[in-house]
Each structure stands twice: as C-alpha cells, then as structure tokens.
A = this chain, B = another copy of it.
Amino acid sequence: MLRFLTAGESHGPCLIAIVEGLPAGLSLDEEAINRDLGRRQGGYGRGKRMQIERDKAEILSGVIAGKTTGAPVALRIANLDWPNWRERWAADDLPALTVPRPGHADYAGMAKYGLDDARPILERASARETAARVAVGALAKQLLAPFEIAVGSYVTEIGDVEAAIPDLSPAELWALAEASDVRCPDEDAAARMRAAIDAARRAGDSLGGVFIVTATGVPVGLGSHVQWDRRLDARLTAVVMSIPAIKGLEIGTAFENSRHRGTQVHDALYPDGQGGVIRRTNRAGGTEGGMSNGMPVVIKAAVKPIPTTVTPQRSVDLSTGEPAETQYQRSDVCVVPAAAVIGEAMVAWVLADAMIEKLGGDSLEEMTR
C-alpha cells in the first residue's frame, strides 16, 4: 500500500506531503522531483504567481544516505510568496470574500464548513495543492523506473483548437510535448493554441482543454476484475478526476468506441512469434476487465477553463443576499499543460501502488529480483 496525504494552503508557509509505503533501497533523485515541479509551473498562459514561485521539494524524512529506508517520506515545498502574506494572515486583516466564484469551491465549501468567508476554502481548494501531488508523483515515477514503466503526457486541445496528434510512439510524443510551451506535439496547433490563449487573456477570460496521459511498460495484470475497488481503471479515474478542474475522462477512445460495433473496436490479439501476444491497436487504452493488458495505458482528461477570470462573473454576495460580481484574483489564463503534468503524477502513483501490491513492497531489491 502506497498512500499519501497532502496539506497546506495557497498562501500559507508551505505545502507538505507524506508518502507512505515506498520500499527501501530506492535512490531518490531530488533534482528529478524539482524538474517535475518546474514542469507544472511552466506553460504558456500561466499568471504572475508562477514567476514568484520556483518550487523546490525538501525531503524531510524517509531517506538516509540518498536511499529510501521504508519509512514515510515527508516533502516540503515552501511558498516563496509566504513572507508577503505572513503579516496579513497574522493581523487577520484580510477582507472576507463573500461573493463565491462560479465554478470554484467557494460556495459549496462555505456551506459545508459553516463559513461566511470563502478565503479558508479557496486557500485549500487552490490548485497550488497540486504541487505537492506532483512531488508525490515524482517519487512514484522513480519507483517505476527500474521496471521500465514510464509515464508522460501531452495536450490535445486548448479551447476550440484541436491538435492532430502524429502517429508516433508515446515516448516520441512526450518529447515533442516537452519541447512545447503548451505541451502539444502538433506544432501548428500549438501556435493556434498560443493565439487562443492570448485572445482569452485580452478578453479577461480563461481557457480549458484536453490532455492525454500515457504509461508504457505497464505489465499485464495490475488491478483486478474481482471487486469494484480493485479495478485499475476505477483507481486511475478516481485519482485523475480528483485533480482540480478535471471533470471528464476516458480510457482509450471510450466515447468514440461507444459509437462503433464490437467487432470494430476491440483490440485483436496476434501471436508475437515468441510465445506471447501483440496487439496492433490500443482503442481500449491499455485496460481490459479492470486490469492492465500490456498495452500503454492511455487516459484522456477534460480540463475546464479555470473559474477565476478578470472579466467579472455573476454571483451573489452571501453577506447581503444581493446580486454581485466576482472580483478578480490573481490567476492564470490556461492551466491545461500544468494539469497534464499533475495527471502524470497521479497516474504514476496508482501504478506504483499497484506494482507494490503485485510484488510486495519491502525493498526495491526484492521487488526487482
């Protein structure tokens, strides 16, 4: 069992994650964690805060002489913005936010937790929390690496611009995405995506989009059909859907598949000439019967346009019950490339957990024996 909890507010001192259940003997590469943190922060369309924060993860526990010991790994990511906020927090002189932003956690959170100020809600609901998840995922990726399981992502849509994804291997698509500030392997579409982001920025608006996470090298038989909560597809779905702003998801080309006949969409098996099987298609996105089937795992996710916009949106001032307009908070225009990186992290975490479940998780040496 590989589990994690995160803690921390957007403008508090730091984010914390505890990752529990890593095997002993894994050499942790701190720079690789920071690279992933940087990948989350990059991308065309991010706001000013991304110029303030340069996330670095500090490993507080669980690693001795560079290697995991089996003990929980606590990670701390400082909020570099904190000194600017510390006094205001202490003085408690921040004005109450009483006009919930449509699309954000404000309204439901205030109702749930009995608050007349949305600030405590948005502080935790902020996507800043996902930095901790990216760090968690970076650990998971390092656990997967010795098994030659790799996880990557690319963006296929931003706003109404849809990319034509070239017919390349996942690794090749990841490399193209990595070179693109919108994480899009189609350069032509990328240019139009940037233009769309610019236009949205000028309009004081925001854009959503769609990304794909793929995982290669996944062995056959992670997850199980035997009980609902053992299914790999369900576990992947839960964790990807738990990323803020993600509201839609498909494994493989699920919606497209649903419009075709069975003989047209299932991935035929062929002998691979060495006693095993190969597939020539992967419409199933790497899972059958709730288990990995040896093909790349492919998850597509729909990211909503972020709810914080310069252009006001209609709402209600809950302190008066009167109509009101939302007020601008510093924010981004488009977070789809960042969301893709977070998606990678969460997929990596599920796969790492499933590998530990399959092989036992005492030590990397035993797992790779």
On A, residues with C-beta under 8 Å from B are: 1, 3, 5-9, 12-16, 18, 20, 23-25, 60-62, 64-65, 69-74, 89, 92, 100-109, 111-115, 119-121, 123-125, 133, 157, 159-160, 200, 203, 205-210, 220-221, 224-229, 231, 233-235, 237-239, 241-244, 247-252, 254-255, 257-271, 275, 277, 284-285, 287-294, 302-309, 311, 313-316, 318, 321-323, 346, 357-363, 365-366
Contact = CB atoms under 8 A, between A and B. Distances in A.
A229 B12 CA distance: 22
23 contacts: A5-B5, A5-B18, A6-B18, A7-B61, A9-B61, A15-B61, A16-B18, A16-B61, A70-B113, A104-B288, A107-B269, A108-B288, A113-B362, A114-B362, A159-B259, A205-B261, A247-B285, A248-B254, A263-B309, A265-B305, A268-B314, A268-B315, A359-B360
A251 to B, nearest CB: 5
A269 B100 contact: yes
Contacts of A62: 7, 9, 124
Q: How many copies of this protein are present in the complex?
A: 4
A271 B316 contact: yes
A283 B171 CA distance: 35
A23 B70 CA distance: 25
A121 B307 CA distance: 45
B228 A262 contact: no
Given A106-B288, A208-B258, A237-B249, 10 more contacts: A7-B73, A12-B61, A69-B124, A112-B362, A114-B362, A208-B259, A233-B247, A241-B249, A248-B248, A265-B304
A103, A115, A203, A365 pick with most chain B CB within 10 angstroms: A103
Contacts of A224: 70, 109, 112
Nearest to A69: B120
Nearest to A361: B357
Contacts of A247: 233, 250-252, 254, 257, 284-285, 287
